[in-house]
Structure 1
């Protein structure tokens, strides 16, 4: 399955649901009808980047994260509301996904071990690398600290 074809299926699903139907305020001009990625993100409790990633690599994501209830609910909703999504889902074709674990030695917080997911878009040289830390771990705390470094002045 072409990545653009799958992405189009997810976009069509978003276009079918109005903000009012999802309990969101309408407000402002929209380039396209339906929900924005930001609104889907808010409703699903996941990041906009993750929504974009799912549009490109949803089947591989469910195989990698079988216990992710939010992802399972999103897939169930898509299957229920989109015949095209169901057809693509049943085909079983997915983009390529690689996973690795990397330890980064940060100059201010020390060693941080992260999961590195590399998503490859079929038919292109595009590679998306996503670094995450296991929630609730010291690595997650260090990663959160790293995101604030650079916007604050360290005194010491």
Structure 2
């Protein structure tokens, strides 16, 4: 095996070729020649351009950022050992212990693949969006236009004056906003003790404390807890109001949160929810 075969680009290509499209919820097109994911598939899943994937695989780009490396690892469904190897090939230090994880492990991705057409997303311990399916993008608006570091539900729930764009492209109204806000703040307070040395979490809390009076008030109440469920109305511009149940499932090892939206079976909201996925199929 040559040195070139051990390069970052060659390794990404090997991992891309081994991952079948159905493993990431993509349809298998008739006459498809690629044995695994196409470059276009990987680019879409990782939130980067196709040209950038081409340059990586051809060795013309060899130094992706840590955010891009993490996104590639999620898209390729790498194990933790493989993720660390990808970081080292890119000249990066693998994420260390005691820091928030953005890595969605293969087992969790398999579970997500079995959720069917239900809108689903994964958030890190600081409520940064790290994964979503097409139904989520159709329902909420595509997050691809938002920079990775600004895909924060915390920013959306508690905006600050100098904050970036909101995560949802259109209004999302909680039926119990007071309960929802308290639950998120309590969850972040718990995360602050689990990840006391994580600079991203510390900066998010500092910025929001300084820039949002409501967050500061709730934070100083000192509640600690989790965020398990909610009921929301999504004001979709093409379909109208859709009322959904929001359930949050937490992986206790990584503190990753799977957020799933569902509607009452047989209801008009369920029909609208499915329609939103169809409308957003090209997102």
TM-score with structure 2 setting the length = 0.26
Whose strand proportion is higher, 1 or 2? 1
Larger-Rg structure: 2
TM-score with structure 1 setting the length = 0.42
